Amino acid sequence: MTLHPQAKAFLEYTAINNPLPVDATLEERRADAADYLKYAGPLSDDVNTEHTYFTSPTADLHAVIYRPKNVKPNAPALVYFHGGGWVFSWTLRYAPQMSNIAAETGFVVIGINYQKAPEHPFPTPFDDCYAGLLWVAKNAARFGIDPTKIGVGGDSAGGNLAAAVALKAADTGDVKLAYQMLIYPCLDTNYQSQSYLAHEIGFGLESVGMQWCWNNYVPQTDMNNKYAVPARATRFNNVAPAIIALAEHDVLRDDGANYATALEKAGVPVVLKEYPGMIHGFFGHGFMVDDAYNLRRWLSAQIVKVVN
């Protein structure tokens, strides 16, 4: 399918309204990413928001808790890791998406603001996210959460982190996750895949940009570490069921599809949905793209189904 008209309009609108200098500095790139919050749409009115902090192995980190106003005792939970190439963004940029999912599911949603590369390359962001999961599980009673119904999720780089956290949770047995929710996750460094070659430029996230993010996040010595590059995993014993959403016109489309195949071959339950005509990042494009909300509703339905 060709680009969806709304996705095309979004790309044209942001090209005019969010232009980057040719040789943008890291500070300018981060400021530009922050400006995209306005495209996500409004927060839900049916959710209360709480700000708190927890301690990872290397820092005190911000976390945001979205609790439905009509939340039931022992609610399921979603621990969410935001996208942004491990370099950009912060958890509050995802407030609309997380509050929507909390309202639609009745889950308590906890956004984890991990440290960023290149100042903090792998394993620091991953360690922060895993520490965030352990913190949520340890404090389940405080948060009104059922400790047997905790899942992890994330989009793009956050999908990478969620998949990696799910792998480690399975390896260690520290937390038995109910699910992993991966939204167009970046899981591999095969820049010659069909989706990379077909969407090299002109679809928002470009091949050179994704490669830049990988190079800033993962040192060469860690490129075979499955917690850095989940596609390197060869065994999936006890790994949580996966809910995977993809965009058709995305360099990362094949990353998610191939990971779904690997999980299924290992006997891990997988639900996969690809959105025709969509581009990378559309989860946060509610201002202009209807499928942003269709995706949020689909994800909500899937995680409710898996915990029940």
pLDDT digits (tens, 9 = 90+) for 154-173: 999 999 999 999 999 999 99
Position 22 pLDDT exceeds 90: no
| Model confidence pLDDT, tens digit, residues 242-257 | 999 999 999 999 999 9
Of 24-38, 200-214, 263-277, the least confident: 24-38
Residues 6+ apart with CB under 8 A from 89: 33, 34, 82, 83
H-run or E-run covering 274? strand 270-279
List b or e across 173-212, with b for residues whose CB sees 16 or more CB atoms inside 10 angstroms.
eebebbbbbbbbbbbbbeeebebbeebeeebbbbbeebee
Confidence at residue 67, expressed as pLDDT on a 0 to 100 scale: 98
Encode pLDDT of 290-306 as tens digits. 999 999 999 999 999 99
Amino acid at the residue 185: P
Percent of the chain with pLDDT over 70: 100
pLDDT at 40 over 90: yes
pLDDT surpasses 90 at 16: yes
271 secondary structure, DSSP code: E
201-225 pLDDT per residue, tens: 999 999 999 999 999 999 999 999 9
What is the CA 145 to chain-centroid distance, rounded? 21
**Structure confidence at residue 222 (pLDDT):** 98
User: Could you give the 3-state DSSP secondary structure of residue 85?
Assistant: coil
Give pLDDT, residue 77: 98
H/E segment holding residue 159: helix 157-172
User: What is the spatial distance between Cα 204 and Cα 19, in angstroms, rounded to a whole number?
Assistant: 12
Question: So which residues are the catalytic ones?
Answer: 156, 250, 280
Q: What is the pLDDT of residue 21?
A: 84
pLDDT at 34: 83
**Residue 1, pLDDT score:** 78
Q: What is the reported pLDDT for 49? A: 97
Q: What is the pLDDT of residue 108?
A: 98
Residue 274 confidence class, pLDDT cut points 50, 70, 90: very high
In whole numbers, what is the pLDDT of the chain averaged over residues? 97
Superfamily classification of domain 5-307: Alpha/Beta hydrolase fold, catalytic domain (3.40.50.1820)
Order of strands across the sheet with 270-279?
A: 47-55, 60-68, 108-112, 75-81, 145-155, 179-183, 242-249, 270-279
d(CA 287, CA 82): 19
How big is the chain, counted in residues?
308
Which alpha helices (DSSP H) does 181-252 contain, by range? Answer: 194-198, 207-217
Residue 80 has pLDDT above 90, yes or no: yes
